[in-house]
């Protein structure tokens, strides 16, 4: 079965075709990163206009790259939310229109559940065992999810304030490094001393698997302000200071993310541990997870390609396939997908 996935929840206009939930036949992404670099982050109105311009060419390109026609497509998956409402509108409206005109089933996919299926993309050789404990961590969300089967997800922890990716982006801005923050911080951190600063980890108590990154962000701000005696000017920060802050910050984020993953693994005894979302591309996080979770003797997996960590439509198509497989009758109605910034699972 071939599903065409559409993703427009933030700043990527993406379309992909995936066969049987794992085989990626095409994966097209029109990124707006260069545009948002100028403003140091995403301006929703600008993102929404760009989606409108790109959505049709991106869908055509995905079909062309897969060398397929509409008759070869068995269903459409798109994201009602969460995300920027004006951005979601383009993807959902386009998907609904196509489902109506081409008479295809239409599968709404929660953006975070989509990220979870980034781990299925291009992984045709593995039969994952449930339950799976998943840390899905991106710019907009920071969740711990227990997946008991396809379509059976339990949210067991989340960030109470910023997501880790958002903290990467804000700290990078503070250090004058640009947007998006994660990849740049990872790069400059290689030149820094990760023990140079002892940044705080939020203490939320032993009864929760939640996260908090606002205190860490403020601690980085204070370190920067102290260096320049409260005169905030990223241009003046010297490079060894920036590298040390980046390395210490990255280490603290990785440890914090893995702390809760370790606690939740002890409680839920999953058969696998998956890490997904944009921040799962981070090598310090992967190293920390490998080191600390080795003792549980369960497979630890990340998407096979960085393109399936950050926003993409292959993960949406993959999730759509497995949801449809479970309950095909649910997805016959093209009207069943409406943009909803607060969409829950
Ligand atoms: O999943 P994603 O593309 O979009 C959202 O759903 O938010 O994640 C984007 C986030 C950004 O905050 C970006 O800084 C972060 O993922 N990111 C990284 C890395 N690559 C992307 N964070 C840390 N290290 C990376 N290598
Ligand atoms: Zn995302």
Determine the distance separating the centroid of ligand 2 and the alpha carbon of 306, expressed in angstroms. 13
Q: Is the pLDDT of residue 237 over 80?
A: no
**Per-residue tokens: 63:** 């079909």
Q: Is the pLDDT of residue 232 over 70?
A: no
> 142 has which bridge partners?
137
> 157 has which bridge partners?
144
The predicted-structure confidence for 42-56, as pLDDT tens digits, reads as follows: 788 888 888 999 999
User: Closest ligand 1 atom, CA of 168?
Assistant: 14
pLDDT at 234: 66
Q: Is the pLDDT of residue 336 over 90?
A: no
Closest CA to 87 of 161, 155, 8, 157: 8
User: Closest ligand 1 atom, CA of 163?
Assistant: 12
Q: How far apart are CA 125 and CA 322, in angstroms?
A: 17
For 191-224, b/e burial (b = at least 16 CB within 10 A) is ebebebbebeebeeeeeebbbbbeebbebbeebb
Determine the distance separating the centroid of ligand 2 and the alpha carbon of 24, expressed in angstroms. 18
Determine the distance separating the centroid of ligand 2 and the alpha carbon of 301, expressed in angstroms. 18
pLDDT at 43: 81
Average pLDDT over the chain, rounded to whole? 94
Q: What are phi and psi of 304, to 5 degrees?
A: -70, -20
Q: How far apart are CA 257 and CA 272, in angstroms?
A: 17
Nearest CA residue ID for atom 3, ligand 1 = 310
The predicted-structure confidence for 57-116, as pLDDT tens digits, reads as follows: 999 999 999 999 999 999 999 999 999 999 999 999 999 999 999 999 999 999 999 999
In whole angstroms, how far apart are CA 254 and each of 46, 52, 146, 177, 194? 32, 36, 20, 20, 11
The predicted-structure confidence for 249-270, as pLDDT tens digits, reads as follows: 999 999 999 999 999 999 999 9
Closest CA to 312 of 341, 276, 339: 276
User: Closest ligand 1 atom, CA of 284?
Assistant: 24
């Amino acid at each position: 079965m071939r599903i065409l996935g559409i993703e427009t929840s933030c700043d990527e206009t993406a379309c992909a075709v995936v066969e049987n939930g794992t085989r990626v036949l095409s994966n097209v992404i029109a990124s707006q990163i260069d545009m948002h670099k100028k403003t140091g982050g995403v301006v929703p109105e600008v993102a929404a206009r760009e989606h409108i311009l790109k959505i049709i060419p991106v869908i055509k390109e995905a079909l062309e790259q897969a060398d397929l026609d509409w008759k070869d497509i068995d269903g459409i998956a798109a994201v009602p939310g969460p995300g920027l409402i004006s951005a979601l509108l383009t993807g959902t409206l386009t998907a609904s229109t196509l489902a109506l005109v081409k008479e295809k089933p239409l599968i709404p996919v929660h953006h975070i559940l989509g990220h979870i299926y980034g781990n299925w993309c291009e992984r045709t050789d593995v039969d994952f065992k449930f339950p799976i404990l998943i840390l899905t961590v991106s710019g907009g969300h920071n969740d711990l999810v227990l997946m008991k089967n396809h379509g059976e997800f339990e949210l067991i922890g989340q960030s109470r304030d910023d997501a880790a990716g958002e903290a990467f982006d804000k700290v990078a801005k503070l250090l004058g490094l640009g947007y998006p923050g994660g990849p740049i911080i990872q790069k400059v951190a290689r030149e820094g001393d990760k023990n140079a600063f002892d940044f705080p980890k939020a203490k939320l108590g032993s009864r929760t698997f939640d996260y908090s990154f606002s205190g860490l962000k403020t601690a980085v701000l204070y370190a920067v302000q102290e260096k320049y005696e409260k005169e905030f000017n990223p241009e003046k920060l010297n490079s060894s200071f920036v590298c040390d802050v980046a390395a210490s910050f990255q280490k603290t984020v990785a440890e914090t993310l893995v702390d809760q993953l370790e606690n939740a693994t002890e409680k839920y005894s999953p058969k696998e541990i998956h890490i997904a979302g944009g921040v799962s591309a981070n090598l310090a996080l992967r190293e920390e997870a490998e080191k600390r979770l080795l003792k549980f003797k369960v497979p630890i997996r990340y998407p096979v390609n960085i393109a399936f960590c950050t926003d993409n439509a292959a993960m949406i198509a993959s999730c759509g396939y497995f949801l449809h497989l479970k309950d095909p009758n649910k997805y016959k109605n093209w009207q069943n997908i409406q943009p909803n910034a607060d969409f829950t699972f």
